[in-house]
Amino acid sequence: MSLLLSSRKWKDLSLLFPICLFLGIFFLIPLVILLIKSVTVPSFGLGNFYELLATSTYIKILGNTFLVATLVTVFAVLLGFPLAWCITLFPKGWGRFLLNVVLLSMWTSLLARTYSWLVLLQSSGVLNKILMGIGLIDQPLELVHNLSGVIIGMTYIMIPFVVLPLQASMSTIDPMVLQAASICGASARSVFFKIFIPLCKPGIFSGALMVFVMSLGYYVTPALLGGVSNMMLPEFIVQQIQNFLNWGVASASASILIAVTLVIFYIYLKVQSDSPTSSNKGS
């Protein structure tokens, strides 16, 4: 019996062979070589880490990074949920149209969409002109080169990454389950919160996680739509690598980001009842 189990285990592990080989050679080895520079460049020791943590600047940048990622994740889920729901609900007409809009937005170049937002949001931009035209505001709003610019631009880009996994998990939910609950006398509200949302949780979880970690490392959109006072970590790293060739500090800050993210991930795994891998049906 134990022999059987272990051969089963080997079979499972052999499925992981391609990914381990690929990521090992092309990702982990080069990454480790680079990250080692955080303690060897310019001289051996923890000097780079002292330099980063001694000033409040780096902590603020790290804080900004997580703040933006959190806000973007929340907004993307809030806006993505009704879309995914409608796409599942009306697969032919309206839902089909919504799905096409989502796909169309994903297919449009990221750089182009970001630039489009820049022109839309700036104080002499279209949005401000319209708002002033209809008399809602008399002074142009500052929508870009600050936190709101980054949040609008990034939420926009992340919505499809919530909608698609969420819709995929919604479409596997058996409508009869909800029907049954309602027949048993549950109100629409409690069916929604007690049954529908929990069933959607894996989809929300994977979408939100994807958006959150993507946002942490995002460079292009914050660099174009953000202001410098809410600089995020990737931009700081670019500055270190590009302007000052300071790979030591750059790798040190990347190591800290990776460590902090993994800790958060770990806590999340402990708190969250669903694990990201194990099935919530059966086992």
Residue 132 touches another protein, criterion: CB under 8 A: no
Is residue 74 within the footprint of another protein (CB under 8 A)? no
Residues between 171 and 210 with contacts to another protein, criterion CB under 8 A:
171-173, 175, 178-179, 181-182, 188, 191-192, 196, 202-203, 206, 209-210
Smallest distance, another protein to C-beta of residue 148, A: 14
| Residue with tokens 């990914």, as numbered in its chain | 19
Length of the chain: 283
Among 88, 150, 151, 222, binds another protein (CB under 8 A): 88
- Asked if residue 208 lies in contact with residue 73, where contact means CB atoms within 8 angstroms, the answer is yes
CB of 135 to another protein, least distance (A): 19
Query: Which of 44, 277 has the CB closer to another protein?
Result: 277
Our finding on whether 137 is near another protein (CB under 8 A) is no
- Least CB distance to another protein at residue 185 (A): 12
Is residue 147 involved in binding another protein (CB under 8 A)? no
Residues numbered 213 to 242 that lie near another protein (CB under 8 A) are 213-214, 216-217, 219-220, 223, 227-229, 231, 233-234, 236-239, 241-242
Of 18-57, binders to another protein (CB under 8 A) are: 18-19, 22-23, 26-27, 29-31, 33-34, 51, 55-57
Identified binder of another protein from the candidate list 47, 53, 74, 113, rule CB under 8 A: 113
For the record, the structure tokens of 86 come out as 């409608």
Examine residue 256 and tell whether it contacts another protein (CB under 8 A): no
